[in-house]
């Protein structure tokens, strides 16, 4: 078994998931300002460190995706953030793309940038203690989109990124996100997501990426947030499993879903149903940002020093999602 495969399996073992704490300074500023907390480097670190030192980190969170600012910060315990995360028994990771920019030739769509100088940045992150990385490609669904150009350009970038990451002995998280925004049906989401994922794997194979040493971070199959279609949670789970079974090579060790704008409970409930129906060999877990943090953030904003209370709320969400990753969650367990 390769070292990269070991890391990927360790991140997702026993229902563990990934805490996506890789919001850029701009995004984190919006989140903090939405709860009336000033966005200073100290406050950004304080909130994140509150989560990173919670008791559920050891049993529920196998990996934490950090942002460039955070991976270089020193915790209140005087150790570097990656050290803090490793000591707790989790794996530090890092977002390495530089964001989605307008795609030349298709101005309504986006291409993710960050390949220039990536090899050098990866060496630095590896030395700082990162075990895995993340790169997100985004796709919109409408009558004419995602275009062939968007599907191929983003797949190529994800594959080049993954090859460079593995060269540096880290596990790449491959995140092709078909966005929820729009009026599309679940069937359209299914077709477009399948097309996007298949193209990603074509490129990954072409770039000689070891598929046993990656984690796929896809969206679930949902109707668009402006769609008139009502689709049951069971249907979401069935379509999601069907899509992944037909698009993802069997060598891939694990799939960690993004929450993509679902509420905390929805993201947990859908993950639970997916695992109840999962007959594949893929580990199906979570890589959530807002769906793990939102309630904790709201609580924390009322008193930044109430670390224990904030951790209690975060611990609950982490435990609920870890149960869902094993198909053991139920509504009665929610507070």
Decide if 217 is catalytic.
yes
Asked whether the beta carbons of 90 and 64 are under 8 A apart, the reply is yes
* Other beta carbons less than 10 A from residue 102's beta carbon: 11
Distance, CA of 200 to CA of 178 (rounded, Å): 13
> What separation, in Å, do the N-terminal and C-terminal C-alpha atoms of the chain show?
41
Residue with token string 């707790």? 88
* DSSP code, position 212: G
Asked whether the beta carbons of 157 and 119 are under 8 A apart, the reply is no
- Three-class DSSP category at 97: coil
Asked whether the beta carbons of 215 and 255 are under 8 A apart, the reply is yes
Q: How far is CA 229 from CA 89, 186, 284, in A?
A: 43, 8, 26
Dihedral over Cα of 22, 24, 27, 33: its sign: positive
Distance, CA of 125 to CA of 115 (rounded, Å): 15
Bridge partner list, 262: none
Residue with token string 């669904």? 141
Locate all alpha helices (DSSP H) within the chain, ordered by sequence: 3-11, 25-34, 41-52, 56-60, 68-71, 81-88, 118-128, 148-167, 186-206, 233-247, 264-277, 290-302, 307-324
Asked whether the beta carbons of 287 and 256 are under 8 A apart, the reply is yes
Distance, CA of 176 to CA of 88 (rounded, Å): 30
Distance, CA of 86 to CA of 179 (rounded, Å): 32
Among 95, 134, 199, 217, the active-site one is 217
The catalytic site residues sit at: 217
């Amino acid at each position: 078994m390769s070292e990269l495969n070991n890391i990927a399996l360790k991140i997702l073992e026993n229902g563990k998931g990934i805490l996506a704490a890789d919001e850029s300074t701009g995004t984190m500023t919006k989140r903090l300002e939405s709860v009336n907390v000033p966005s200073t480097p100290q406050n950004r670190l304080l909130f994140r460190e509150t989560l990173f030192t919670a008791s559920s980190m050891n049993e529920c969170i196998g990996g934490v995706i950090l942002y460039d600012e955070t991976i270089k910060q020193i915790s209140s315990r005087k150790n570097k953030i990656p050290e803090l995360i490793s000591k707790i028994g989790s794996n530090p990771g890092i977002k390495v793309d530089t964001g989605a920019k307008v795609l030349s030739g298709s101005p309504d769509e986006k291409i993710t940038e960050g390949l220039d100088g990536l090899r050098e940045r990866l060496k630095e992150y590896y030395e700082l203690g990162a075990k895995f990385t993340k790169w997100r490609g985004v796709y919109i669904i409408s009558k004419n989109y995602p275009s062939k150009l968007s599907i191929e350009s983003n797949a190529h970038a994800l594959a080049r990124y993954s090859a460079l990451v593995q060269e540096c002995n880290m596990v790449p998280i491959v995140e092709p996100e078909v966005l929820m925004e729009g009026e599309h049906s679940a069937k359209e989401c299914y077709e477009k997501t399948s097309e996007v994922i298949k193209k990603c794997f074509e490129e990954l194979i072409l770039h000689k990426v070891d598929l046993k040493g990656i984690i796929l971070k896809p969206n679930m199959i949902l109707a668009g947030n402006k769609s008139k279609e009502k689709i049951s949670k069971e249907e979401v789970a069935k379509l999601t499993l069907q899509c992944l079974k037909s698009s993802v090579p069997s060598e891939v060790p694990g799939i960690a879903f993004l929450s993509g704008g679902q509420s905390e409970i929805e993201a947990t409930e859908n993950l639970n149903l997916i695992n109840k129906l999962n007959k594949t060999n893929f580990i199906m877990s979570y890589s959530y940002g807002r769906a793990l943090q939102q309630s904790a953030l709201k609580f924390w904003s009322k008193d930044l020093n109430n670390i224990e209370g904030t951790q209690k709320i975060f611990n609950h969400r982490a435990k609920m999602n870890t149960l869902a990753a094993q198909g053991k969650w139920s509504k009665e367990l929610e507070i």
